[in-house]
Amino acid sequence: MNRIKAIIATLFVAMAFGATAQYSQLGAKNEFMFKAEIGYSPFMGNFGKLGDNGYNLPQYEHAAGLNVMAGVNISQDWFLGGGVGVNYYHNFVQELSKPMFGANVFVDFDFRPIWKAVMGVDYQPTTITWAPLMGARLGGSLLFADQMLFTPLAEAYGGINWYYAHGLRNMTHNWHSFYATLGVAYMQQTFFLPIRVGWRW
């Protein structure tokens, strides 16, 4: 069983880093980018099949985490890349809860729709400072407990994006931004409500 989990984890790593490949072949409208973010994910509820020792996070543990991603910003509005992250699971109220660490590997996709329309014709404004943000992630989650536990990871999120570098489009560094998101995530048989702030450069 551990061999199967190791193979699945390796596949997710390959998917994540494969999404960042072909850097040297990027076109004029594409840019290689990084994202880094910190977040806090309150516990929402357990879900899934009970194991021999119960749920993976039986004491309603919350998660604090750090994620880093690398990928391609495509035609200014889209991002596709791979990421890795670390989580610290805890519940300071439950005496039975013991802090645990975990790691995630995932493919990250987001869209910042800043196109506008005039009389049915789309155009890109010359300046933009704020834009909505929506995205999703798929991957795997490892929990470093007494027995290493591996589960799928899925997340959908939305938020807001601030283009701090002059707010200009079609110019150098115009895609660099700070952002804040709120989402729903599933990992380790648990639903979380991740709240994150990040930097895109």
Per residue in 178-193, pLDDT (tens digit) is 999 999 999 999 999 9
| Radius of gyration for the alpha carbons in the chain, expressed in angstroms and rounded | 19
pLDDT of residue 163: 84
Query: Which residues have a Cβ under 8 Å from the Cβ of 57 and sit 6 or more positions away?
Result: 43, 46, 89, 143, 188, 189, 190
CA distance 72 to 78: 8
pTM of the model: 0.80
- Nearest to residue 142, comparing CAs of 4, 5, 7, 16? 5
Q: How far apart are CA 17 and CA 71, in angstroms?
A: 9
Q: What integer best gives the mean pLDDT of the chain?
A: 82
Q: What is the pLDDT of residues 25-52, one digit of tens each?
A: 455 568 899 999 999 999 999 987 776 6
